[in-house]
């Protein structure tokens, strides 16, 4: 495992609220000072997000490492957006540190929709096809000078070995609760495969909360904080966390995913699921139930692929 980067400790969260956002906007972008501000209900983890009027949003990185993505997003998202078949966030202004907040921050156009889920998607197979077409278009964009895996995106697009210690700890914690023998086999199979092709663009966090749906259809892909250029296998985790059966098959077929990349994608889904499952032990609730469901999807699909 030599050369595997150290992710370091869990970053300390930076407090933020409507009052802070109001002061930042008023001092740096007075043209928007009179717009109402309210916190977004489902704001995610890496950023604190606020509505700014009806058409804009403010995103403040929630910890120092996440602030590394701000300059990347401002440089690359305006270039990626015109080449993609679905809308993505495009920054309209970059804020500077101030008012006691120590990092750069962003103003974006607001993209409407609700997070994807089995309840909000009308046709899961059609959804899988649309998402695959979006990711295929992203992978076809010229990767020259694009951001390689690093701390700015928690090494998405790089080797799964980065997360081996965390996966092993989770397997130990889950012993006796899940089929750790099968999960360990899947993890080792993923580690054995490596990316030796031309680097391509990837999103880095193709999760339900970053896929927006209207009238049952995928209409936008948001939160490119973990995007970069490298191995696109990390974008395949959605095949197990949301898709299943025919929708998983059409997703893989339309992306023309080879066996090695599929194994790594399964590994990305497994790592996050194991970590979530282990962290939720004893708490119960929806997070534990969701992790249990996804782990069953991963193990079953692996065994059936056989």
Q: List the single range of 238-252, 255-269, 278-292 with lowest mean pLDDT.
A: 278-292
**Domain 115-305 in this protein, CATH class:** alpha beta
How do the domains of the chain map onto residue ranges? 18-110, 115-305
- List pLDDT tens digits, range 108-166: 999 999 999 999 999 999 999 999 999 999 999 999 999 999 999 999 999 999 999 99
Place of tokens 């000072």: 33
* Cβ-proximal residues to 164 (8 Å cutoff; 6+ apart), any chain: 1, 4, 187, 191
What is the β-pairing status of strands 114-115 and 217-221?
unpaired
- List pLDDT tens digits, range 198-233: 999 999 999 999 999 999 999 999 999 999 999 999
The structural architecture, per CATH, of the domain 18-110 is 2-Layer Sandwich (3.30)
DSSP H helices in the chain: 18-28, 69-80, 124-139, 164-174, 180-192, 238-241, 245-255, 259-280, 285-305
Query: Quick one: which of 214, 235, 47 has its CA closest to 116?
Result: 214
* Cβ-proximal residues to 280 (8 Å cutoff; 6+ apart), any chain: 287, 288, 291
């Amino acid at each position: 495992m030599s050369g595997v980067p150290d992710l370091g400790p869990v970053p300390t969260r930076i407090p933020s609220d409507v009052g802070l956002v109001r002061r930042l906007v008023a001092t740096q972008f007075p043209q928007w000072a009179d717009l109402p501000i309210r916190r977004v209900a489902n704001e995610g983890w890496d950023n604190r997000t606020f509505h700014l009027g009806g058409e804009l949003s403010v995103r403040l990185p929630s910890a120092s490492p996440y602030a590394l993505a701000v300059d990347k997003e401002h440089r690359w998202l305006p270039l990626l957006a015109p080449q993609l078949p679905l809308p993505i966030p495009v920054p309209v202004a970059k804020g500077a540190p101030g008012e006691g907040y120590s990092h750069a921050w962003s103003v974006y156009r607001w993209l409407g929709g609700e997070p994807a889920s089995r309840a909000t998607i009308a046709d899961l197979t059609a959804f899988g096809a649309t998402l695959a077409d979006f990711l295929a278009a992203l992978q076809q964009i010229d990767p020259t000078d694009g951001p390689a895996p690093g701390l700015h995106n928690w090494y998405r697009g790089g080797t799964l070995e980065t997360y081996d210690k965390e996966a092993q700890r989770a397997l130990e914690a889950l012993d006796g609760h899940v089929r750790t023998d099968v999960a360990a086999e899947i993890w080792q199979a993923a580690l054995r495969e490596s990316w030796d092709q031309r680097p391509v663009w990837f999103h880095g966090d193709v999760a339900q909360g970053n896929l927006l749906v209207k009238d049952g259809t995928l209409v936008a892909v948001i939160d490119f904080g973990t995007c970069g250029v490298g191995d696109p296998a990390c974008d395949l985790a959605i095949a197990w966390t949301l898709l299943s059966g025919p929708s998983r098959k059409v997703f893989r077929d339309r992306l023309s995913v080879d066996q090695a990349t599929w194994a790594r994608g399964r590994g990305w889904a497994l790592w996050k699921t194991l970590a979530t499952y282990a962290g939720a032990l004893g708490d119960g609730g929806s997070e534990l139930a969701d992790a249990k469901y996804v782990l069953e999807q991963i193990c079953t699909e692996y065994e059936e692929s056989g």
